[in-house]
Amino acid sequence: MRLVMMLLAALSVAMPAYAKMTDAEARKVAETTSDKFNEDWNKGDAKGLAALFTRNGTLVTPGGLLAGTAAIEKDLAQAAGKSTHTTTVDEAHAIGANAWAAGSFKVEGPNGHPSFGGFWSSLYVRDGHGWKMRLLMINTTPPKPPAAPPPAK
């Protein structure tokens, strides 16, 4: 009986880690992480950006796949701080105790430099006492093709 009680006590402590998340909680995680991503990008903090990922996190970009925080930090250090980054969270949902979200982003260069944007999706997992991205996938929206010339008369 004592063993059963100890097992039940241990399970009651472990259960919150596996509790189901709600879609509203998933949105809060996504918005908080998105805000921090924008903040770190805009001040050029590649180390802070990489810290938003799990140690073995993956960033999928139009230029390729980056695995692990060291690779993510190295790549983002080349671009962060040189433009203004904004995101929107368009959708967020719980997946058991984890969450996923998707939205759009825009990067605006300084002094009239070209801007671009696209879409992103991310998977969030509990890491220690906080939330981190296990996977972030981004794509860029191709530029609009030039308008066709008017037909000759």
Planar angle of CA 18, 23, 29, nearest 5 degrees? 75
In the chain, the amino acid numbered 55 is: R
Residue 2 lies in a domain: no
Residue 10 lies in a domain: no
- Put residue 4 in one of left, alpha, beta given phi > 0 → left and psi -120 to 50 → alpha: alpha
Residue 13 lies in a domain: no
Residue 67's DSSP bridge partners are 58
Record the pTM.
0.78
Residue 34 lies in a domain: yes
Domain count of the fold of the chain: 1
In the chain, the amino acid numbered 126 is: R
Residue 14 lies in a domain: no
- Side-chain half-sphere CA neighbours of 141 within 13 A: 14
Residue 146 lies in a domain: no
Average pLDDT, the chain: 85
Give residue 23's pLDDT: 94
- Put residue 123 in one of left, alpha, beta given phi > 0 → left and psi -120 to 50 → alpha: beta
CATH number of the domain that residue 55 is part of:
3.10.450.50
Residue 149 lies in a domain: no
Please report, rounded to a whole number, the percentage of residues in the chain having pLDDT higher than 90: 60
pLDDT-based confidence at residue 92 (cuts at 50, 70, 90): very high
Q: Which domain covers residue 99, as residue numbers?
A: 21-140
At 97-146, the pLDDT tens digits run 999 999 999 988 877 666 888 999 999 999 988 999 999 999 988 777 77
Q: What is the DSSP string of 76-141?
A: HHTTTTSSEEEEEEEEEEEETTEEEEEEEEEEE-GGG---EEEEEEEEEEEETTEEEEEEEEEEEP
